[in-house]
Amino acid sequence: TKKIAIFASGTGTNFVALVQQLQHWRSDVSIELLIYDRKQAAVHQRSQELGVPSVYVNFTKYADKSQAETAMLQALKQRHIDLILLAGYMRIVGPTLLNAYQGHILNIHPALLPAFPGAHGIEDAFKAGVKVTGVTIHFIDAGVDSGPIIAQETVRIDPTDTLATLENRIHQIEHQLYPRVVKELITEGVV
């Protein structure tokens, strides 16, 4: 069985899309765990509604990132997690997790990387006035939204777009692309 953990910090719409589209896809693929790092994050509520166990990691409780990640690693190992999907996880993954899950951590970013990395990819592209932006799925490395790109889908920015309408379209693409790419990678035995 392919056991998946999702890391998230916020609203959790990608978490929901992943759970809904992967959970019953194949009996040998299962979303085992949500790890979240903001106590009030809406994604926690969503995990409860969907019956996915969750672990809250309070980073302020640990001396440094490596200690927090050691605790995370313990939760992951306990559940025999094979694959980690970052879905709006607003931290840089450190060497403790990177080394343990090399090649088995994916991220989604709401822009066409390497353009507009960081926490505000949609807004940064909108403000820059580019006519095309999009969504990227990539393996992570030690950088911010960097690492080998797996898939990208473009989204046009129309003159009539507001930041809100653009955000909507990007999110819709995200919710289709991420589960689809994960399915393909699992099917091909890549992750």
The set of catalytic residues is: 109
Residues 16-45 that bind ligand GAR (CB under 6 A): 43
108 within 8 A of 182, measured Cβ to Cβ: no
Residue whose CB is less far from ligand GAR, 37 or 145: 145
Residues 101-160 that bind ligand GAR (CB under 6 A): 108-110, 119, 121, 145
What lies within 8 Å, CB to CB, of 122 at 6+ separation is: 110, 111, 133, 163, 166, 167, 170
Q: Which of 11, 30, 70, 152 binds ligand GAR (CB under 6 A)?
A: 11
User: Could you say whether residue 87 binds ligand GAR (CB under 6 A)?
Assistant: yes
User: Could you say whether residue 174 binds ligand GAR (CB under 6 A)?
Assistant: yes
Q: How far is the CB of 41 from ligand GAR (least distance, A)?
A: 8
Q: Per 3-state DSSP, what percentage of the chain is helix, strand, and coil (rounded to 5)?
A: 40, 25, 40
Residue whose CB is less far from ligand GAR, 10 or 69: 10
User: Could you say whether residue 12 binds ligand GAR (CB under 6 A)?
Assistant: yes
CA distance 155 to 107: 18
What lies within 8 Å, CB to CB, of 38 at 6+ separation is: 9, 10
